[in-house]
């Protein structure tokens, strides 16, 4: 994506106008600079609200704790010189972003000279279903292809059926399940844990206002 300048929210490709023609009408996509990361905070919050509404199976932390952690992680990624972020803009406003982590080869899975993960893909609620997520992922793949990278992975919350359909429609398939569990809630028949019906020691799950959104690395529906 060397022809995609990182300056001005309306910047578009200068050498590949046919690519820009495939983006949704009125949308421009460009690389995000490290000093612009704060701009994605609202989109990160929307993503987490979306997952909370879906009923994520994994406990979630409040937004005021989530965003500082996520911002620090993004800043660290962009400082490594290999990872990158893309933003989608409409009328001077950021309406979606993708964060891509490019790392060393994985010690287990044969993914080539690098291990690449789409860390986040988030599109504002009012733009979902309009092709913004597709355009962002197209640009992610164009950038990776330009670097000679053919494989990357994506994590999706187990309840996010829309996101799963989106990625599966692009040819992604499940390769690894990350399971979540509580030791204290393990059935007695499975070894350890309390007997059936024993609620002693069970921690009550606090009820949260929807405004207190969570921290998760999974992705929202484009």
Q: CA 121 to CA 219: how far, in whole Å?
A: 6
SS3 label, residue 204: coil
Do residues 46 and 38 lie in contact, with contact meaning Cβ atoms separated by under 8 Å? no
What's the confidence (pLDDT) of residue 65? 92
How many Cβ atoms sit within 10 Å of the Cβ of residue 7? Answer: 9
Residue pLDDT, tens place only, 135-193: 999 999 999 999 999 999 999 999 999 999 999 999 999 988 888 888 998 887 666 55
Instruction: Answer yes or no: are the C-beta atoms of 27 and 140 closer than 8 Å.
Output: no
pLDDT by residue (tens digit) across 89-136?
A: 988 799 999 999 999 998 888 888 999 999 999 999 988 888 899 999
| Fold of the 17-179 domain | Aminopeptidase (3.40.630)
| Predicted local confidence at residue 136, as pLDDT | 95
- DSSP for 106-130, written as a single string: PSSS--TT-EEEEEEEEE-GGGTTT
Write down the pLDDT at residue 189. 66
> Using CA atoms, how far apart are residues 179 and 5, in angstroms rounded to an integer?
41
């Amino acid at each position: 994506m060397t022809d995609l300048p990182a300056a001005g929210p309306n910047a578009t490709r200068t050498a590949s106008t046919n690519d820009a023609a495939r983006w949704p009408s009125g949308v421009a996509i460009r690389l995000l600079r490290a000093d612009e990361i704060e701009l994605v905070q609202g989109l990160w919050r929307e993503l987490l609200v979306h997952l909370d509404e879906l009923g994520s199976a994994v406990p979630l932390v409040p937004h005021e704790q989530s965003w500082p952690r996520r911002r620090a992680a993004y800043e660290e990624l962009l400082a490594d010189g290999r990872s990158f972020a893309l933003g989608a803009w409409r009328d001077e406003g950021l309406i979606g972003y993708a964060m891509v982590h490019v790392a060393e080869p994985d010690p287990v899975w044969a993914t080539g000279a690098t291990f690449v993960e789409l860390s986040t893909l988030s599109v504002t609620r009012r733009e979902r279903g309009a092709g913004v997520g597709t355009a962002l992922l197209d640009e992610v793949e164009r950038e990776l292809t330009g670097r000679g990278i053919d494989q990357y992975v994506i994590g999706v919350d187990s309840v996010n059926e829309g996101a799963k359909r989106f990625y599966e429609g692009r040819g992604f398939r499940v390769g690894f399940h990350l399971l979540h569990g509580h030791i204290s809630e393990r059935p007695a028949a499975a070894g350890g844990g309390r007997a059936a019906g024993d609620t002693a020691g069970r921690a009550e799950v606090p009820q949260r206002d929807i405004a207190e959104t969570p921290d998760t690395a999974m992705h929202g529906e484009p």
